Structure 1
Amino acid sequence: MQTLDKPVERPIEDSLVIAGKTFRSRLMTGTGKYRTFEEMRHSIAASGSEIVTVAVRRVQTHAPGHEGLAEALDWTKIWMLPNTAGCQTAEEAVRVARLGREMAKLLGQEDNNFVKLEVIPDAKYLLPDPIGTLQAAEQLVKEGFAVLPYINADPMLAKRLEEVGCVTVMPLGSPIGSGQGIKNAANIQIIIENAKVPVVVDAGIGAPSEAAQAMEMGADALLVNTAIALATNPMAMARAMNLATEAGRLAYQAGRIPIKAYASASSPLTGTIGA
Protein backbone atom coordinates (compact mmCIF):
# COMPACT_ATOMS: atom_id res chain seq x y z
CA MET A 1 0.00 0.00 0.00
CA GLN A 2 1.26 3.45 -0.89
CA THR A 3 2.05 5.64 2.13
CA LEU A 4 0.47 9.06 2.47
CA ASP A 5 3.67 10.97 1.90
CA LYS A 6 4.73 9.08 -1.24
CA PRO A 7 4.05 11.15 -4.36
CA VAL A 8 2.14 9.82 -7.36
CA GLU A 9 4.30 9.06 -10.41
CA ARG A 10 3.10 10.94 -13.48
CA PRO A 11 3.97 10.23 -17.10
CA ILE A 12 6.84 12.35 -18.40
CA GLU A 13 5.02 13.01 -21.69
CA ASP A 14 2.39 15.06 -19.84
CA SER A 15 4.80 17.34 -18.06
CA LEU A 16 4.12 20.94 -17.05
CA VAL A 17 6.57 23.37 -18.66
CA ILE A 18 7.05 26.86 -17.21
CA ALA A 19 9.72 29.20 -18.58
CA GLY A 20 11.48 26.23 -20.18
CA LYS A 21 11.65 24.24 -16.94
CA THR A 22 9.85 20.90 -16.78
CA PHE A 23 7.80 19.61 -13.86
CA ARG A 24 5.94 16.32 -13.57
CA SER A 25 3.51 17.51 -10.92
CA ARG A 26 0.72 19.94 -11.76
CA LEU A 27 0.01 20.71 -8.11
CA MET A 28 1.92 23.55 -6.46
CA THR A 29 1.78 24.01 -2.70
CA GLY A 30 2.74 26.61 -0.12
CA THR A 31 4.56 26.75 3.20
CA GLY A 32 2.24 28.95 5.26
CA LYS A 33 -0.26 28.17 8.03
CA TYR A 34 1.07 24.74 9.00
CA ARG A 35 1.09 23.90 12.69
CA THR A 36 4.63 22.51 12.57
CA PHE A 37 7.51 22.21 10.13
CA GLU A 38 7.18 18.44 10.35
CA GLU A 39 3.57 18.60 9.15
CA MET A 40 4.67 20.90 6.36
CA ARG A 41 7.44 18.59 5.18
CA HIS A 42 5.26 15.47 5.19
CA SER A 43 2.37 17.28 3.52
CA ILE A 44 4.52 18.65 0.71
CA ALA A 45 5.89 15.15 0.15
CA ALA A 46 2.37 13.69 0.11
CA SER A 47 1.24 16.32 -2.37
CA GLY A 48 3.88 15.28 -4.90
CA SER A 49 4.47 18.98 -5.48
CA GLU A 50 7.73 20.07 -7.08
CA ILE A 51 7.04 23.83 -6.87
CA VAL A 52 6.62 25.34 -3.41
CA THR A 53 5.93 28.99 -2.62
CA VAL A 54 7.79 30.91 0.07
CA ALA A 55 6.69 34.36 1.28
CA VAL A 56 9.95 36.31 0.98
CA ARG A 57 9.03 39.15 3.36
CA ARG A 58 8.02 36.79 6.14
CA VAL A 59 11.21 34.78 5.87
CA GLN A 60 13.39 37.89 5.63
CA THR A 61 11.79 39.46 8.72
CA HIS A 62 11.68 36.16 10.68
CA ALA A 63 7.91 36.54 11.12
CA PRO A 64 6.36 34.13 13.67
CA GLY A 65 6.07 30.66 12.20
CA HIS A 66 8.59 31.43 9.45
CA GLU A 67 11.87 31.31 11.43
CA GLY A 68 14.03 28.64 9.85
CA LEU A 69 11.55 28.00 7.05
CA ALA A 70 14.13 28.36 4.30
CA GLU A 71 16.23 25.65 5.94
CA ALA A 72 13.31 23.33 6.70
CA LEU A 73 12.98 21.88 3.20
CA ASP A 74 15.37 20.11 0.85
CA TRP A 75 15.73 22.62 -1.97
CA THR A 76 17.69 20.16 -4.08
CA LYS A 77 14.39 18.33 -4.63
CA ILE A 78 11.90 21.23 -4.64
CA TRP A 79 11.82 24.29 -6.88
CA MET A 80 11.36 27.44 -4.82
CA LEU A 81 8.73 29.94 -5.93
CA PRO A 82 9.51 33.15 -4.02
CA ASN A 83 6.32 35.06 -3.35
CA THR A 84 5.82 38.81 -2.94
CA ALA A 85 3.00 38.25 -0.41
CA GLY A 86 2.40 41.25 1.82
CA CYS A 87 3.34 43.83 -0.82
CA GLN A 88 0.79 46.59 -1.36
CA THR A 89 2.43 48.45 -4.25
CA ALA A 90 4.28 47.63 -7.43
CA GLU A 91 7.45 49.19 -6.05
CA GLU A 92 7.36 47.01 -2.94
CA ALA A 93 6.75 43.89 -5.02
CA VAL A 94 9.74 44.60 -7.27
CA ARG A 95 12.05 45.08 -4.28
CA VAL A 96 10.84 41.89 -2.59
CA ALA A 97 11.15 39.91 -5.84
CA ARG A 98 14.81 40.88 -6.02
CA LEU A 99 15.30 39.67 -2.44
CA GLY A 100 13.55 36.43 -3.34
CA ARG A 101 15.92 35.79 -6.23
CA GLU A 102 18.89 36.28 -3.93
CA MET A 103 17.33 33.97 -1.33
CA ALA A 104 16.93 31.24 -3.95
CA LYS A 105 20.58 31.63 -4.94
CA LEU A 106 21.72 31.38 -1.31
CA LEU A 107 19.81 28.09 -1.04
CA GLY A 108 21.58 26.65 -4.07
CA GLN A 109 19.16 27.50 -6.89
CA GLU A 110 21.51 29.73 -8.86
CA ASP A 111 19.36 29.70 -12.01
CA ASN A 112 16.05 30.36 -10.26
CA ASN A 113 14.48 33.58 -11.57
CA PHE A 114 10.89 32.58 -10.73
CA VAL A 115 8.67 34.90 -8.73
CA LYS A 116 5.03 34.64 -7.79
CA LEU A 117 3.90 38.23 -8.12
CA GLU A 118 1.30 39.49 -5.64
CA VAL A 119 0.32 43.14 -5.23
CA ILE A 120 -2.48 43.27 -2.67
CA PRO A 121 -3.46 46.58 -1.03
CA ASP A 122 -6.88 45.22 0.05
CA ALA A 123 -6.59 43.88 3.61
CA LYS A 124 -10.15 42.58 3.94
CA TYR A 125 -10.72 40.52 0.79
CA LEU A 126 -7.06 40.20 -0.29
CA LEU A 127 -7.92 40.91 -3.90
CA PRO A 128 -4.96 41.74 -6.16
CA ASP A 129 -4.44 45.21 -7.63
CA PRO A 130 -4.58 44.80 -11.43
CA ILE A 131 -2.78 48.05 -12.23
CA GLY A 132 -0.01 47.51 -9.70
CA THR A 133 0.39 43.90 -10.80
CA LEU A 134 0.81 44.90 -14.44
CA GLN A 135 3.29 47.65 -13.57
CA ALA A 136 5.40 45.31 -11.42
CA ALA A 137 5.24 42.54 -14.02
CA GLU A 138 6.55 44.82 -16.76
CA GLN A 139 9.52 45.86 -14.61
CA LEU A 140 10.33 42.34 -13.41
CA VAL A 141 10.21 40.90 -16.92
CA LYS A 142 12.70 43.59 -17.99
CA GLU A 143 14.96 42.43 -15.15
CA GLY A 144 14.92 38.83 -16.35
CA PHE A 145 12.41 37.34 -13.92
CA ALA A 146 10.07 34.51 -14.84
CA VAL A 147 6.90 36.16 -13.55
CA LEU A 148 3.89 34.17 -12.33
CA PRO A 149 1.27 36.84 -11.56
CA TYR A 150 -1.63 36.30 -9.16
CA ILE A 151 -4.74 38.02 -10.53
CA ASN A 152 -8.48 38.18 -10.33
CA ALA A 153 -10.14 36.13 -13.07
CA ASP A 154 -9.96 38.96 -15.61
CA PRO A 155 -9.43 37.66 -19.18
CA MET A 156 -8.26 41.04 -20.51
CA LEU A 157 -5.67 41.45 -17.75
CA ALA A 158 -4.51 37.87 -18.24
CA LYS A 159 -3.91 38.53 -21.93
CA ARG A 160 -2.08 41.80 -21.21
CA LEU A 161 0.21 40.10 -18.68
CA GLU A 162 0.96 37.38 -21.20
CA GLU A 163 1.81 40.03 -23.81
CA VAL A 164 4.32 41.75 -21.50
CA GLY A 165 6.14 38.44 -21.00
CA CYS A 166 4.72 36.68 -17.93
CA VAL A 167 5.34 32.92 -18.02
CA THR A 168 1.96 31.97 -16.49
CA VAL A 169 -1.22 33.65 -15.34
CA MET A 170 -2.69 32.68 -11.97
CA PRO A 171 -6.39 33.60 -11.69
CA LEU A 172 -8.03 33.16 -8.30
CA GLY A 173 -10.90 30.69 -7.94
CA SER A 174 -12.25 32.70 -4.99
CA PRO A 175 -10.63 34.85 -2.26
CA ILE A 176 -7.43 33.54 -0.64
CA GLY A 177 -8.03 31.05 2.14
CA SER A 178 -11.82 31.27 1.80
CA GLY A 179 -12.39 27.67 0.74
CA GLN A 180 -15.27 28.85 -1.45
CA GLY A 181 -14.10 26.85 -4.44
CA ILE A 182 -14.31 27.95 -8.07
CA LYS A 183 -16.59 31.00 -8.06
CA ASN A 184 -15.18 32.53 -11.25
CA ALA A 185 -15.58 29.52 -13.55
CA ALA A 186 -16.86 31.40 -16.61
CA ASN A 187 -13.99 33.91 -16.64
CA ILE A 188 -11.39 31.26 -15.82
CA GLN A 189 -12.68 29.23 -18.77
CA ILE A 190 -12.20 32.24 -21.07
CA ILE A 191 -8.65 32.71 -19.76
CA ILE A 192 -7.86 29.03 -20.35
CA GLU A 193 -9.26 29.10 -23.89
CA ASN A 194 -7.22 32.14 -24.89
CA ALA A 195 -3.95 31.78 -22.98
CA LYS A 196 -0.75 30.68 -24.69
CA VAL A 197 1.03 30.30 -21.33
CA PRO A 198 0.12 27.88 -18.52
CA VAL A 199 -2.94 28.86 -16.48
CA VAL A 200 -2.58 28.10 -12.77
CA VAL A 201 -5.77 28.35 -10.69
CA ASP A 202 -4.71 29.85 -7.39
CA ALA A 203 -6.65 30.59 -4.20
CA GLY A 204 -10.02 29.51 -2.87
CA ILE A 205 -9.84 25.77 -3.48
CA GLY A 206 -11.07 24.04 -0.33
CA ALA A 207 -11.70 20.43 -1.33
CA PRO A 208 -10.29 17.86 -3.76
CA SER A 209 -13.53 17.96 -5.78
CA GLU A 210 -12.85 21.65 -6.49
CA ALA A 211 -9.27 20.89 -7.49
CA ALA A 212 -10.53 18.26 -9.91
CA GLN A 213 -13.10 20.72 -11.27
CA ALA A 214 -10.42 23.29 -12.08
CA MET A 215 -8.30 20.70 -13.87
CA GLU A 216 -11.32 19.32 -15.77
CA MET A 217 -11.89 22.85 -17.08
CA GLY A 218 -8.43 22.72 -18.65
CA ALA A 219 -6.26 24.52 -16.12
CA ASP A 220 -2.61 23.59 -16.51
CA ALA A 221 -1.90 23.53 -12.78
CA LEU A 222 -3.16 24.46 -9.33
CA LEU A 223 -1.72 26.18 -6.29
CA VAL A 224 -3.26 24.94 -3.01
CA ASN A 225 -2.07 25.95 0.46
CA THR A 226 -4.71 26.71 3.09
CA ALA A 227 -6.93 23.72 2.28
CA ILE A 228 -3.99 21.42 3.00
CA ALA A 229 -2.27 23.26 5.85
CA LEU A 230 -5.42 23.78 7.94
CA ALA A 231 -7.01 20.39 7.30
CA THR A 232 -7.46 18.14 10.33
CA ASN A 233 -4.99 15.76 8.68
CA PRO A 234 -2.81 17.84 6.32
CA MET A 235 -0.89 14.84 4.98
CA ALA A 236 -4.07 13.02 3.98
CA MET A 237 -5.51 16.18 2.40
CA ALA A 238 -2.28 16.76 0.49
CA ARG A 239 -2.50 13.24 -0.91
CA ALA A 240 -6.16 13.79 -1.80
CA MET A 241 -5.33 17.03 -3.63
CA ASN A 242 -2.56 15.20 -5.46
CA LEU A 243 -4.96 12.51 -6.68
CA ALA A 244 -7.67 15.05 -7.54
CA THR A 245 -5.25 17.07 -9.64
CA GLU A 246 -4.21 13.99 -11.54
CA ALA A 247 -7.80 12.76 -11.95
CA GLY A 248 -8.96 16.16 -13.22
CA ARG A 249 -6.12 16.31 -15.72
CA LEU A 250 -6.86 12.81 -17.03
CA ALA A 251 -10.56 13.64 -17.30
CA TYR A 252 -9.79 16.79 -19.29
CA GLN A 253 -7.57 14.84 -21.66
CA ALA A 254 -10.13 12.04 -21.98
CA GLY A 255 -12.92 14.41 -22.97
CA ARG A 256 -16.21 14.30 -21.08
CA ILE A 257 -19.52 13.39 -22.72
CA PRO A 258 -21.85 16.23 -23.75
CA ILE A 259 -24.47 17.37 -21.28
CA LYS A 260 -27.97 16.58 -22.58
CA ALA A 261 -31.43 17.66 -21.51
CA TYR A 262 -32.78 14.15 -21.99
CA ALA A 263 -31.88 10.54 -21.17
CA SER A 264 -29.80 8.28 -23.39
CA ALA A 265 -29.92 4.53 -22.77
CA SER A 266 -26.56 2.96 -22.04
CA SER A 267 -27.69 -0.54 -23.07
CA PRO A 268 -27.84 -1.38 -26.82
CA LEU A 269 -31.26 -1.24 -28.43
CA THR A 270 -30.53 -4.04 -30.89
CA GLY A 271 -30.91 -7.72 -30.09
CA THR A 272 -33.60 -7.21 -27.45
CA ILE A 273 -36.01 -10.00 -26.57
CA GLY A 274 -39.45 -9.39 -28.03
CA ALA A 275 -42.67 -9.73 -26.11
Structure 2
Amino acid sequence: MKRKKLIIAGKELSSRFFIGTGRYPNPFVQNEAIKASGAEVLTFAIRRVNLDEPGEDAILQHLDRTNFIYLPNTSGATNAEEAIRIARLAKASGLSNWIKIEISADERTLLPDPIETLKATEVLAKEGFVVLPYTSDDPILCRRLEEAGAAAVMPGGSPIGTGLGILNPYNIALIAEQSNVPIIVDAGLGSAQDVVQAMELGVDGVLMNTPVAKAKDPAKMALAMKYAIEAGRLSYEAGRIQKKKYATASSGLTSLIST
Protein backbone atom coordinates (compact mmCIF):
# COMPACT_ATOMS: atom_id res chain seq x y z
CA MET A 1 0.00 0.00 0.00
CA LYS A 2 1.42 3.39 -0.97
CA ARG A 3 1.39 5.73 2.02
CA LYS A 4 0.98 9.48 1.86
CA LYS A 5 4.15 11.27 2.88
CA LEU A 6 4.28 14.17 5.32
CA ILE A 7 5.82 17.15 3.55
CA ILE A 8 6.03 20.65 5.03
CA ALA A 9 7.52 23.50 3.00
CA GLY A 10 9.13 20.99 0.67
CA LYS A 11 10.74 19.06 3.54
CA GLU A 12 9.80 15.38 3.69
CA LEU A 13 9.50 14.09 7.24
CA SER A 14 9.76 10.44 8.16
CA SER A 15 8.20 11.00 11.60
CA ARG A 16 4.74 12.42 12.28
CA PHE A 17 5.71 13.12 15.91
CA PHE A 18 6.60 16.73 16.80
CA ILE A 19 7.95 16.86 20.35
CA GLY A 20 8.51 19.64 22.87
CA THR A 21 11.63 20.13 24.98
CA GLY A 22 10.18 21.69 28.12
CA ARG A 23 9.19 20.37 31.56
CA TYR A 24 11.53 17.36 31.63
CA PRO A 25 13.20 16.66 34.99
CA ASN A 26 16.69 16.96 33.46
CA PRO A 27 18.51 17.03 30.07
CA PHE A 28 19.32 13.33 30.18
CA VAL A 29 15.66 12.33 30.48
CA GLN A 30 14.80 14.86 27.77
CA ASN A 31 17.30 13.34 25.35
CA GLU A 32 16.20 9.78 26.11
CA ALA A 33 12.58 10.72 25.41
CA ILE A 34 13.46 12.54 22.19
CA LYS A 35 15.48 9.56 21.01
CA ALA A 36 12.65 7.13 21.81
CA SER A 37 10.12 9.32 20.01
CA GLY A 38 11.93 9.21 16.68
CA ALA A 39 10.85 12.83 16.18
CA GLU A 40 12.63 15.06 13.69
CA VAL A 41 10.93 18.32 14.67
CA LEU A 42 11.64 19.82 18.09
CA THR A 43 9.77 22.78 19.50
CA PHE A 44 10.72 25.10 22.36
CA ALA A 45 9.76 28.53 23.66
CA ILE A 46 12.08 31.20 22.28
CA ARG A 47 11.80 33.16 25.52
CA ARG A 48 13.58 30.26 27.28
CA VAL A 49 16.57 30.31 24.90
CA ASN A 50 19.66 32.51 25.05
CA LEU A 51 19.51 33.99 21.57
CA ASP A 52 22.99 35.50 21.90
CA GLU A 53 24.47 31.99 22.13
CA PRO A 54 21.76 29.54 21.03
CA GLY A 55 24.25 26.72 20.50
CA GLU A 56 25.34 26.95 24.13
CA ASP A 57 21.88 27.30 25.59
CA ALA A 58 20.94 24.81 28.32
CA ILE A 59 17.97 23.59 26.29
CA LEU A 60 19.84 23.07 23.03
CA GLN A 61 23.45 22.30 23.91
CA HIS A 62 22.73 18.61 24.54
CA LEU A 63 21.21 18.10 21.08
CA ASP A 64 22.79 17.36 17.72
CA ARG A 65 21.37 20.19 15.62
CA THR A 66 22.13 18.41 12.35
CA ASN A 67 19.56 15.70 13.14
CA PHE A 68 16.59 17.95 13.88
CA ILE A 69 14.41 20.66 12.49
CA TYR A 70 13.94 23.33 15.13
CA LEU A 71 10.45 24.76 15.51
CA PRO A 72 10.82 27.66 17.95
CA ASN A 73 7.51 28.95 19.29
CA THR A 74 6.28 32.35 20.40
CA SER A 75 4.82 31.14 23.70
CA GLY A 76 4.29 34.11 26.00
CA ALA A 77 3.22 36.46 23.21
CA THR A 78 -0.14 38.13 23.81
CA ASN A 79 -0.58 39.79 20.42
CA ALA A 80 0.62 39.61 16.82
CA GLU A 81 3.20 42.37 17.25
CA GLU A 82 4.95 40.49 20.06
CA ALA A 83 4.87 37.18 18.16
CA ILE A 84 6.30 38.77 15.01
CA ARG A 85 9.13 40.38 16.97
CA ILE A 86 9.99 37.10 18.71
CA ALA A 87 9.99 35.21 15.40
CA ARG A 88 12.31 37.73 13.78
CA LEU A 89 14.73 37.51 16.70
CA ALA A 90 14.83 33.72 16.44
CA LYS A 91 15.52 33.83 12.72
CA ALA A 92 18.20 36.50 13.12
CA SER A 93 19.96 34.36 15.75
CA GLY A 94 20.25 31.54 13.22
CA LEU A 95 17.92 29.16 15.05
CA SER A 96 15.41 28.49 12.28
CA ASN A 97 13.08 30.04 9.73
CA TRP A 98 10.37 27.66 10.95
CA ILE A 99 8.12 29.24 13.54
CA LYS A 100 5.19 28.07 15.62
CA ILE A 101 2.86 30.99 16.22
CA GLU A 102 1.45 30.74 19.73
CA ILE A 103 -0.51 33.75 20.98
CA SER A 104 -2.60 33.42 24.14
CA ALA A 105 -4.62 36.29 25.56
CA ASP A 106 -6.04 34.35 28.50
CA GLU A 107 -3.63 33.04 31.15
CA ARG A 108 -6.13 30.63 32.69
CA THR A 109 -7.06 28.66 29.56
CA LEU A 110 -4.09 29.56 27.31
CA LEU A 111 -6.49 29.33 24.38
CA PRO A 112 -5.07 30.86 21.18
CA ASP A 113 -6.19 34.32 20.11
CA PRO A 114 -7.65 33.73 16.63
CA ILE A 115 -7.46 37.30 15.35
CA GLU A 116 -3.89 37.96 16.47
CA THR A 117 -2.77 34.52 15.27
CA LEU A 118 -4.14 35.22 11.80
CA LYS A 119 -2.44 38.65 11.71
CA ALA A 120 0.94 37.20 12.68
CA THR A 121 0.63 34.35 10.19
CA GLU A 122 -0.06 36.73 7.31
CA VAL A 123 2.95 38.93 8.10
CA LEU A 124 5.48 36.17 8.77
CA ALA A 125 4.42 34.03 5.79
CA LYS A 126 5.02 37.02 3.50
CA GLU A 127 8.48 37.41 5.05
CA GLY A 128 9.40 33.86 4.09
CA PHE A 129 8.93 32.09 7.39
CA VAL A 130 7.66 28.52 7.48
CA VAL A 131 4.68 29.32 9.67
CA LEU A 132 2.88 26.69 11.74
CA PRO A 133 0.17 28.46 13.75
CA TYR A 134 -1.30 26.92 16.90
CA THR A 135 -5.02 27.61 16.80
CA SER A 136 -8.43 26.49 17.99
CA ASP A 137 -10.38 23.67 16.34
CA ASP A 138 -12.46 26.07 14.25
CA PRO A 139 -12.59 24.74 10.65
CA ILE A 140 -13.17 28.21 9.15
CA LEU A 141 -10.27 29.74 11.04
CA CYS A 142 -8.00 26.88 9.98
CA ARG A 143 -8.97 27.53 6.37
CA ARG A 144 -8.19 31.24 6.76
CA LEU A 145 -4.77 30.43 8.23
CA GLU A 146 -4.02 28.20 5.26
CA GLU A 147 -5.07 30.99 2.90
CA ALA A 148 -2.81 33.38 4.83
CA GLY A 149 0.20 31.23 3.98
CA ALA A 150 0.55 28.75 6.83
CA ALA A 151 2.76 25.80 5.84
CA ALA A 152 0.78 23.61 8.25
CA VAL A 153 -2.03 24.32 10.70
CA MET A 154 -2.04 23.07 14.28
CA PRO A 155 -5.47 22.96 15.94
CA GLY A 156 -5.66 22.03 19.61
CA GLY A 157 -7.51 18.94 20.73
CA SER A 158 -8.19 20.65 24.07
CA PRO A 159 -6.44 23.36 26.14
CA ILE A 160 -2.66 23.11 26.60
CA GLY A 161 -1.50 20.68 29.24
CA THR A 162 -4.98 19.47 30.24
CA GLY A 163 -4.70 15.92 28.92
CA LEU A 164 -8.40 16.01 28.07
CA GLY A 165 -7.85 14.53 24.62
CA ILE A 166 -9.91 15.40 21.53
CA LEU A 167 -12.95 17.30 22.79
CA ASN A 168 -14.46 17.90 19.34
CA PRO A 169 -13.57 15.03 16.99
CA TYR A 170 -16.09 16.24 14.39
CA ASN A 171 -14.24 19.55 13.96
CA ILE A 172 -10.81 17.92 13.84
CA ALA A 173 -11.97 15.47 11.17
CA LEU A 174 -13.54 18.29 9.15
CA ILE A 175 -10.37 20.37 9.37
CA ALA A 176 -8.28 17.44 8.15
CA GLU A 177 -10.72 16.73 5.32
CA GLN A 178 -10.85 20.27 3.96
CA SER A 179 -7.19 21.21 4.32
CA ASN A 180 -4.60 21.36 1.55
CA VAL A 181 -1.73 21.69 4.01
CA PRO A 182 -0.74 19.26 6.79
CA ILE A 183 -2.81 19.30 9.97
CA ILE A 184 -0.90 18.68 13.20
CA VAL A 185 -2.95 18.29 16.40
CA ASP A 186 -1.24 20.40 19.03
CA ALA A 187 -2.22 20.52 22.72
CA GLY A 188 -4.49 18.62 25.07
CA LEU A 189 -3.53 15.03 24.30
CA GLY A 190 -2.79 12.86 27.30
CA SER A 191 -2.35 9.25 26.30
CA ALA A 192 -1.66 6.88 23.44
CA GLN A 193 -5.42 6.39 23.13
CA ASP A 194 -5.85 10.11 22.41
CA VAL A 195 -3.11 9.97 19.81
CA VAL A 196 -4.63 7.01 17.97
CA GLN A 197 -7.98 8.81 17.88
CA ALA A 198 -6.38 11.96 16.49
CA MET A 199 -4.59 10.05 13.74
CA GLU A 200 -7.71 8.04 12.86
CA LEU A 201 -9.52 11.34 12.28
CA GLY A 202 -7.16 11.96 9.36
CA VAL A 203 -4.65 14.45 10.74
CA ASP A 204 -1.06 14.30 9.53
CA GLY A 205 0.72 14.31 12.88
CA VAL A 206 0.68 15.39 16.51
CA LEU A 207 2.75 17.75 18.64
CA MET A 208 3.21 16.85 22.31
CA ASN A 209 5.24 17.96 25.26
CA THR A 210 3.51 17.62 28.65
CA PRO A 211 2.12 14.07 28.13
CA VAL A 212 5.66 12.84 27.56
CA ALA A 213 7.71 15.12 29.81
CA LYS A 214 5.47 14.72 32.87
CA ALA A 215 4.89 10.97 32.51
CA LYS A 216 6.39 8.72 35.19
CA ASP A 217 8.69 7.32 32.50
CA PRO A 218 9.06 9.94 29.72
CA ALA A 219 11.15 7.75 27.41
CA LYS A 220 8.68 4.88 27.62
CA MET A 221 5.76 7.25 27.06
CA ALA A 222 7.52 8.77 24.03
CA LEU A 223 7.87 5.30 22.56
CA ALA A 224 4.21 4.56 23.26
CA MET A 225 3.19 7.78 21.50
CA LYS A 226 5.40 6.92 18.53
CA TYR A 227 3.69 3.56 18.11
CA ALA A 228 0.26 5.14 18.63
CA ILE A 229 0.93 7.61 15.81
CA GLU A 230 1.98 4.80 13.49
CA ALA A 231 -0.98 2.58 14.43
CA GLY A 232 -3.49 5.40 14.15
CA ARG A 233 -2.19 6.46 10.75
CA LEU A 234 -2.26 2.90 9.43
CA SER A 235 -5.80 2.48 10.72
CA TYR A 236 -6.89 5.69 8.98
CA GLU A 237 -5.28 4.68 5.69
CA ALA A 238 -6.75 1.17 5.89
CA GLY A 239 -10.27 2.51 6.39
CA ARG A 240 -12.39 1.37 9.33
CA ILE A 241 -15.68 -0.50 8.99
CA GLN A 242 -18.93 1.41 9.26
CA LYS A 243 -20.65 1.50 12.63
CA LYS A 244 -23.94 -0.42 12.75
CA LYS A 245 -26.80 -0.53 15.20
CA TYR A 246 -27.08 -4.33 15.21
CA ALA A 247 -24.69 -7.25 15.13
CA THR A 248 -23.45 -8.88 11.95
CA ALA A 249 -22.00 -12.38 12.11
CA SER A 250 -18.49 -12.68 10.74
CA SER A 251 -19.54 -16.02 9.23
CA GLY A 252 -22.94 -16.04 7.54
CA LEU A 253 -25.57 -18.36 9.08
CA THR A 254 -26.14 -20.03 5.72
CA SER A 255 -22.62 -21.41 5.82
CA LEU A 256 -23.55 -23.41 8.93
CA ILE A 257 -26.50 -25.18 7.27
CA SER A 258 -25.67 -28.48 5.64
CA THR A 259 -27.09 -29.18 2.20
Assess, with a 3 A threshold, how the Cα gap between structure 1 residues 192 and 33 changes in structure 2: closer, same or farther: same
AA paired with 1:169?
A: V
Shift of 1:165: 0.8
1:116–1:150 CA contact under 8 A, matched in 2: yes
Q: Does residue 69 of structure 1 match 2:59? A: yes
1:5-58 Cα offsets, whole Å, 9 max, x none, are xxxxxx995431001101000011000100000000010110110001021111
**Distance apart, 1:271 and its partner CA:** 3.4
1:188 corresponds to: 172
Could you state the TM-score of these two structures normalised by the residue count of structure 1?
A: 0.89
Q: 1:86 aligns with which of 76, 99, 110?
A: 76
Q: How high is the TM-score relative to the length of structure 2?
A: 0.94
Which of 42, 51, 73 is the matching residue for 1:52? 42
1:114 counterpart (98, 102, 105): 98
Q: Which amino acid in the other structure matches residue 200 of structure 1?
A: I
Q: AA paired with 1:141?
A: A
Q: Find runs of 4+ consecutive structure 1 residues off by over 6 angstroms.
A: none
Q: Which residue, out of 220, 231, 238, partners 1:236?
A: 220
Q: Which amino acid aligns with 2:69?
A: W
Contact preservation (8 Å) 2:51, 2:90: no
Residue 41 of structure 1 aligns with an amino acid whose one-letter code is: N
Taking the TM superposition and a 5 Å limit, the aligned residue runs for 1:1-275 are 14-60=4-50, 68-103=58-93, 105=94, 112-274=96-258
Which 5+ residue runs of structure 1 have no aligned equivalent?
Answer: 1-10, 107-111
AA aligned opposite 1:185: P
User: Matched residues in 1 for 2:71 and 2:86: separation?
Assistant: 13
Residues in 2 aligned to 1:120 and 1:219: alpha-carbon distance in whole angstroms: 23
User: Which shifted more, 187-196 or 22-31?
Assistant: 187-196
Structure 2: gaps of 5 or more residues: none
Percent identical:
50
Q: Name the CA distance, whole Å, in 2 between partners of 1:141 and 1:15.
A: 23
Aligned pair count reads 256
- Whether the 8 Å contact between 1:15 and 1:25 is mirrored in structure 2 is no
Q: Distance in 2 between matches of 1:72 and 1:86?
A: 24
CA distance in 1, matches of 2:49, 2:82: 16
**1:254–1:12 Cα change, 3 Å:** closer
Give the Cα–Cα distance (whole angstroms) in 2 for the partners of residues 180 and 163 of structure 1.
Answer: 29
1:235 Cα deviation from its structure 2 partner: 0.4
Q: Secondary structure at the match of 2:49?
A: helix
For 1:72 and 1:84, locate their aligned partners in 2 and report how far apart those are by CA, in whole Å: 22
Q: Check conservation: 1:14, 1:24, Cα contact below 8 A.
A: no
